[in-house]
Amino acid sequence: MSQSFHAFKGAALSAVLVMAALGSAVQAQPSFGNPSPTAGTSTSDKANAAADSAAYKEVEYTNKNKRGPALIVIPGEIKSNNASFTQRFLPNNIADFAELELSQANFPVLERTNLGPLVNEISLAYNLGDPNAARRTMQMGKLKTTKWILKFDILKAEQISEAKKGFDGRAVGGLLSLFGGGSMAGSAAGTVAGSVQTGDSTGVWLIGMRYKIMDANTTEQVAQGYKDLKMEVGATSTSVMGVSDSAKGGVGLDTMVQRLVQTLVWDIDSKYK
C-alpha cells in the first residue's frame, strides 16, 4: 500500500512539474535569433543599444482602469512646410498611432477602417464646425454612442540647431615631418599624426503636436493641448592609420511622432476622463 502511494505521489509530482514547464513555455514571449554575421561584435552591440533606446515602449496611463468616452479620431493637419517631414508623414499615419494609444488608455475607439467613406463626411462636418451635418452623420449605427471627435495636428517640425567639430591631422603630420629633420622617427610620427581624422556632428529637431477634442453632437471644442519634443540625430567617426570607427543614429521621425502621440494621450487620459 505504501509503495503504491509513493508511486502515485511521484507520478503526480512529475505531472505537476511537466504542466508547470508547459505553462511557462506557453506564457513566455516570442524570442527570435539574430542571423547577422556581425552579431555579438562591438559594432552590433553599439547598434543594438541605440535601437533599444528608440524601441516602442508602452506608457502606463494614469486612469487606464477607468473607461473613457467613446470616440473617433479623424485625420488632422500637418502645418509644417518642412519637406523632410511632409514627404514622410500623412495625417492618417498620425491618426493610426492615436487610435492605438487611445485604445491602450481604455478609450473605446471606433476605428476609421470600420467607417469607410463616412470618415470623409465626419472630417468635413467637424473641420467646418457644421453641427447639422455632424448630427445627421452621427445618427448612423454605431456612431450614435460616440461622445468625442479627436484630431491631432503637427504645428511644427524643424531642425533648430546643428553643431559639428573635427580634427584633420594632415597639417600636424606635415609639421612633425618638417621639424623631424628628415629622421625616420620624425617621418613616422608625421605619418601617424597625418592619418588621424575625427569628426562629430549633431542635429536637433523640434516637433510640436496639438490635440483637439470636439463634442460629437455640437462640434464645439471641449479641450485642446500642445506638446513639443526634441529629436537628436548624431554621427561620429574616427580614423587612425587606416583603422576606422564610426556610428550614426538617433530617434527617427516615426518614433518621435509616436512619442508625441503618447504624451498627448497621457494628457487627455489624466485630465478629461
Whether 254 shows a pLDDT value over 70: the answer reads yes
d(CA 196, CA 210): 47
> Which of 22-26, 104-108, 236-240 has the highest mean predicted lDDT (pLDDT)?
104-108
Share of the chain above pLDDT 70, in %: 68
Phi then psi for 40, rounded to 5 degrees?
A: 90, -10
pLDDT tens for 148-203 read 999 999 998 887 766 766 656 565 555 545 555 556 554 555 555 556 667 676 77
Please, what are the domains in the chain?
59-272 (3.40.50.10610)
pLDDT tens for 41-67 read 877 777 777 677 778 889 999 999 999
Q: How far is CA 67 from CA 61, 86, 109, 211, in A?
A: 12, 35, 11, 20
Phi then psi for 103, rounded to 5 degrees?
A: -65, -40
> Considering only 25-34, 136-145, 166-175, 224-233, which range has the smallest mean pLDDT?
166-175
- Indicate the pTM of the whole model: 0.71
3-state class (DSSP) for residue 29: coil
Res 51: pLDDT: 72
